A and B are shown apart, each in its own frame.
Chain A
Amino acid sequence: MTTETLTPFDPLADAVAALEGWPEAEEPVRGPVELPAPSTPAETRIRDLLIIDYSGDLEKVWATMILASTSAAMGVRTRVFVTFWGLQVFVKDSKRITGENWMQKMMSAMQRPGVSHRKLSKMNFFGMGPWMMGRLAKQYGVASPKELLEAAQELGVEFIPCQMTMDMFGLKPEDMIDGMGEPAGAATVIGLMTEDSTPLFI
């Protein structure tokens, strides 16, 4: 790799460079490039990732799925705690009405559960927005939240449902998609956050 010296007009940068050496020039993108000798993998342990999926909005669910699948692909132990509106995402697509009493049933009727039935938080326009978003995604080769969810599960992401929200919405384990983790609560989340996980609230 060629280390190009940056244009040395900055005396401060010069002084710093004299001590620390110039930063490495960025690798050219096009054409065959000579790569540096393979570096030894970092010895430092990589922290786990904990995503709290609170939202059921399409765009946020998308972000959750992208980050969770990528994180698992990078060999990071990844957990997603799904709570409140986020829990609706992990109900089977085929379920139409969930819950035991009329209020819970009405909630699910007003907001269809399932990863394929998400609404946008803005510009939803009675489903027109998500439909256009889906078309655009397909056109540009962007994987859908459902595809990303499947990839994430395949790569070993652990989805942990919130027990309290499941109770409140009247959701039973059989309402949820296959492969969900054991339901847990806030203490589990705080425990992970304060121990070894990088937390992310979406």
Chain B
Amino acid sequence: MPVLEITQRIDARGLSCPMPIVKTAQAIRLLEPGSAIELLATDAGSVKDVAAWCRTTGNILVEQTSDGAVYRFVIRRK
């Protein structure tokens, strides 16, 4: 897989639904297609929500990790 350049980080730690998604949507509009953002969230619901958001909007969830407390998503703009 080619190396993705992450151009922006969205820190949604401590925020509840739906703010991680709202902030992601607000940020990704300003990105060039093909570039990526990193989203950090503590809302456990964001695991399902980010997947659903990507499915509906067509953006691509490239990577998803968690250290148990913080969820990290890398999303590439379609």
Contact = CB atoms under 8 A, between A and B. Distances in A.
Interface in A88-146: 140-143
A66 B78 contact: no
Interface in B22-54: 22, 24-26, 42-43, 47, 51-53
A86 B52 CA distance: 29
B21 A73 contact: yes
Interface residues of A, number: 28
Mostly helix, strand, loop or mixed at chain B's interface? mixed
Contacts, number: 74
Interface of B: 14-19, 21-22, 24-26, 42-43, 47, 51-53, 55-58, 60-66, 68, 76, 78
Interface of A: 27, 29-33, 35, 38-39, 41-42, 46, 66, 69-70, 72-76, 140-143, 148, 151, 154-155
5 closest A-B pairs by CB: A41-B58, A73-B25, A38-B60, A70-B18, A142-B16
